[in-house]
Amino acid sequence: MGDGVSGAAGEALAGAVPSPNTWATPDVYEQENLGADPDGVVDAAVRDLLGPTGWAGLRVLDVGCGAGFHLPRFAAPPGAAATVTGVEPHAGLLERARRRTQDLAGVRVLAGTAQALPLPDASVDVVHARWAYFFGPGCEPGLAEVERVLAPGGTAVVVDHDATRSTFGAWFRRGLPRYDAAAVERFWARRGFTRLPLLVRWSLPDRAAFEAVVRIELPPAVADAALAEHPGAELDHAVNLFWRRA
């Protein structure tokens, strides 16, 4: 992959937002996905806002699908999506997502970015992006692509941290002191998205796994301080789900 972002963590297409947590440490990130939201609060909220049958029978696109953690959930019966497409710019993660889903009917993973989705106009019913590219101001090119690929009546769903609430939110702010959560919320409201605030819990199998996950999410000094003040392997994490019907 030329013209992209390269480094020790592998190569990604041009336009990719560097994602050191999952590019450099995909196994720890897998552990994070397994331990974050064991109650399925986010998935349930996404399903509910789509209507009584959730994503059943719909064409679902997961933008920035990473190693494809969420793809099998969309494809799982009962209530399986008609088709599931993951789009991912990082070569190593794309390969992981393809391996994860190779035996699942109706699931495919394509190389691409949010800014240039490799899909025809009006070809999906749900666009889902979780912790990927759509972080507020600056993601306008991707939003234009979301508009293009969504069929009439389709739904866009963006899952991101809510830095204003929860223990994780406080840690996130310490790590990114100039992050303007209010500006991010205003950005989504201006674009017609509804905010659904959620609260999830992390539950990691042991302290070592918890520490490893915290360390890929925060700068080293912030992680040291956070871990020193927080015992155990559980955490509360506030999440914003922003959604809009096309």
Chain residues binding ligand SAM by CB under 6 A are 12, 15-17, 19, 21-22, 33, 63-66, 69-70, 88-90, 93, 113-115, 130-133
Which residue number, 6 or 53, has a Cβ lying nearer to ligand SAM? 6
Which residue number, 133 or 187, has a Cβ lying nearer to ligand SAM? 133
We find the least distance from the C-beta atom of residue 125 to ligand SAM, in angstroms, to be 19
In the numeric block, which tokens belong to residue 50? Answer: 């789509």
**What are the phi and psi torsion angles at 51 (to 5°)?**
120, 180
Residue labelled with tokens 């002191």 = 177
We find the least distance from the C-beta atom of residue 57 to ligand SAM, in angstroms, to be 23
**What is the distance between the alpha carbons of residues 21 and 42, in angstroms, rounded to a whole number?**
20
Beta-sheet pairing, 83-88 with 59-63: parallel
Provide the angle, in degrees to the nearest 10, between the axes of the packed helices 166-175 and 207-217: 40
We find the least distance from the C-beta atom of residue 86 to ligand SAM, in angstroms, to be 9
We find the least distance from the C-beta atom of residue 74 to ligand SAM, in angstroms, to be 12
Residue burial 183-212, b: 16+ Cβ < 10 Å; e: rest: ebbebbeeeebeebebebbbbbeeeebbeb
Which residue number, 107 or 114, has a Cβ lying nearer to ligand SAM? 114
Which residue number, 79 or 118, has a Cβ lying nearer to ligand SAM? 118
We find the least distance from the C-beta atom of residue 142 to ligand SAM, in angstroms, to be 6
Which residue number, 131 or 229, has a Cβ lying nearer to ligand SAM? 131
